[in-house]
A = this chain, B = another copy of it.
Amino acid sequence: MTKVEYNLDHVDYKILRLMQDNARINNADIARELSMAPSAILERVKKLEQKNVILQYNAKINPAAIDQKLLSFIFIKANDIIGEQKVGILLAEIPEVQEVHDIAGDDGYLIKVRTADSTALVDLMRNTLGKIEGIISTRTTIVLQTVKEEQQLVIPE
């Protein structure tokens, strides 16, 4: 992995702050907010995309609207060779698995999973997780209610 220099300035930060809350804002509006010319904004946004500062533009969809009512976190103990993440990569391929984190402590992963209900979760664990080689054990935490769920980062001044 190569060391990358991002070299962002205050104007970039302002653009990022506007875009992470409203990805569909147009260049003209950003330009007005920052009192700059639209062409300058366009260049900066393109550079932010090229440099992988902006990774993607997502629409955040209400899980309830498409009947994905159950959220769970599962700790997974695996016998992966350190740094290899064979199990992690397989976990990441499951569409219902939104996140896979390699965590400190017990040679394991923490994954975030969304399913319709508990029946669908049990099915997933049996039929999909159960088929992955190298999983030693799992511990499931069910979410009763979500108070906050955002991906916004704290952007410097």
Contacts and interface: CB of A to CB of B under 8 A. Distances in A.
B57 A146 contact: no
A126 interface: no
B56 A60 contact: yes
A137 to B, nearest CB: 16
A81 interface: no
Contacts of A58: 20-21, 23, 57-60, 151-152
Total identical chains = 2
A154 to B, nearest CB: 5
A41 interface: no
A154 B65 contact: no
A95 B154 CA distance: 6
A57 B44 CA distance: 20
Nearest to A75: B141
A53 B57 contact: no
Interface string A93-106: 00111111111110
B56 A110 contact: no
A34 B23 CA distance: 23
Nearest to A97: B148
Interface string A28-59: 00000000000000000000000111111111
18 contacts: A6-B65, A23-B23, A23-B58, A23-B59, A54-B62, A55-B61, A57-B59, A58-B151, A68-B153, A73-B101, A85-B145, A85-B147, A91-B147, A95-B154, A99-B150, A103-B141, A109-B147, A110-B143
Cβ-closest 3 pairs across A and B: A92-B148, A23-B57, A19-B59
